[in-house]
Amino acid sequence: MNIKFEYNKDLTSLNTFRISAKAAIYAEYKNMDELRSITLSEEFMDNEVFYLGGGSNVLFNGDYHGLVIKSQIKGIKKYQKNEETVFAIAGAAENWADFVKWTIDEGLGGLENLSGIPGSVGASPVQNIGAYGVEVGSMIHKVECFDVITKETVTFTAEQCKFGYRDSFFKNEGKGRYVVLRVSFKLKNSTVAENLDYGPLKTLEEKWNRKPTISEVAEEVLKIRDSKLPDPSKIGSAGSFFKNPVVRIYFYREVMSALSPEIPYYETDDPLYVKIPAGWLIENAGLKGYSVGDAEVYPKQCLVIANKGRATAKDVIEVSEHVRKVVLEKFGVTLHPEVNIVDTNIKVTILGSGTSKGVPEVGCFCPVCRSDSAKDKRTRCSALVETKGLKLLIDVSPDFRQQALRSEITYLDAALITHSHYDHVGGFDDLRPFCTGSKFPVYMRKDVSEDLHRRLDYCFRETPYPGVPSFEVHEIDESPFIIKGVKIIPISVMHGKLPIAGYRIGDFAYVTDAKTIPEEEKEKLKDLDVLVLNGLRFKEHFAHFTVEEALKTIEELKPKRAYLTHFCHEIGRHDDFQSSLPDNVFACYDGLVINTH
Q: What is the mean pLDDT of residues 298-326?
A: 95
Residues 6 or more apart whose Cβ sits within 8 Å of residue 352: 378, 379, 380, 381, 382, 383, 397, 399, 403, 590
The stretch 487-500 carries a mean pLDDT of 96
Read off the pLDDT of residues 125-171 as tens digits, 9 standing for 90 and up. 999 999 888 999 999 999 999 999 999 999 999 999 999 988 999 98
Q: Angle 558-560-562 (CA atoms, 0-180°, nearest 5)?
A: 80
pLDDT of residue 555: 97
Digit-coded pLDDT (tens) for 500-519: 999 999 999 999 999 999 99
Query: What is the separation of C-alpha 19 from the centre of its chain, rounded to a whole number of angstroms?
Result: 20
pLDDT at 254 (0 to 100):
86
Q: Which residues are catalytic?
A: 166, 240, 338
- Which run of H or of E encompasses 37? helix 32-39
- pLDDT band per the 50, 70, 90 thresholds, residue 8: very high
**Which of 21-30, 40-49, 97-106 has the lowest average pLDDT?**
40-49
Checking if the pLDDT of 551 tops 90, the result is yes
Mean pLDDT of 440-462: 94
For residues 212 and 218, give the distance between their C-alpha atoms in angstroms, rounded to a whole number: 10
pLDDT in tens, 213-235: 999 999 999 999 998 899 888 89
What per-residue confidence (pLDDT) applies to 484?
Answer: 83
Q: Which long-range contacts (CB under 8 A, 24 or more apart) does 209-213 make?
A: none
pLDDT at 343 over 90: no
What's the pLDDT score for residue 270?
A: 85
pLDDT for res 575: 96
What does the pLDDT average to over 174-180? 92
Q: What is the pLDDT of residue 449?
A: 97
- Which of 160, 161, 95, 96 lies closest to 125 in space, CA to CA? 161
**Is residue 202 pLDDT above 90, yes or no?**
no
Q: What DSSP string describes 339-392?
A: SEEE---EEEEEEE-B-TT-BSPTT--STTTT---GGG-BPBPEEEEEETTEEE
| More reliable by pLDDT, 371 or 173 | 371
What is the per-residue pLDDT for 127?
Answer: 93
At 290-299, the pLDDT tens digits run: 999 999 999 9
Q: What whole-number distance in Å separates Cα of residue 194 and Cα of residue 218?
A: 12
- What are the residues whose beta carbons fall under 8 Å from the beta carbon of 233, sequence distance 6 or more? none
Tell me phi and psi for residue 121, to 5 degrees.
-60, -40
- Band of residue 540 on the pLDDT scale cut at 50, 70, 90: very high
pLDDT band at 203 (very low <50, low <70, confident <90, very high): confident
pLDDT band, residue 269 (cuts 50/70/90): confident
Instruction: Say if residue 152 is exposed, middle or buried (CB neighbours under 10 Å; 0-12, 13-18, 19+).
Output: exposed
pLDDT of 51: 94
Q: Are 358 and 569 in contact (CB under 8 A)?
A: no
Mean pLDDT of 168-184: 93
Supply the pLDDT for residue 34. Answer: 96
d(CA 444, CA 470): 15
- Predicted model pTM: 0.88
What is the sign of the dihedral through the CA atoms of 249, 255, 261 and 265? negative
Of 144-153, 269-278, 434-443, where does the model show the most confidence?
144-153
585 has a pLDDT exceeding 80 = yes
Give which of 310, 339, 308, 335 is closest to 321, Cα–Cα: 335
Q: What local confidence, expressed as pLDDT, does residue 365 receive?
A: 94
Q: How far apart are CA 342 and CA 17, in angstroms?
A: 12
What is the predicted pLDDT for the residue at 232?
A: 80
| pLDDT tier at 438, thresholds 50, 70, 90 | confident
- Stretch 572-580: mean pLDDT, rounded? 97
- C-alpha 366/C-alpha 235 separation (Å) is 62
180 touches 145 (CB < 8 A): yes
CA dihedral 12, 17, 20, 26 (to 10 degrees): -40
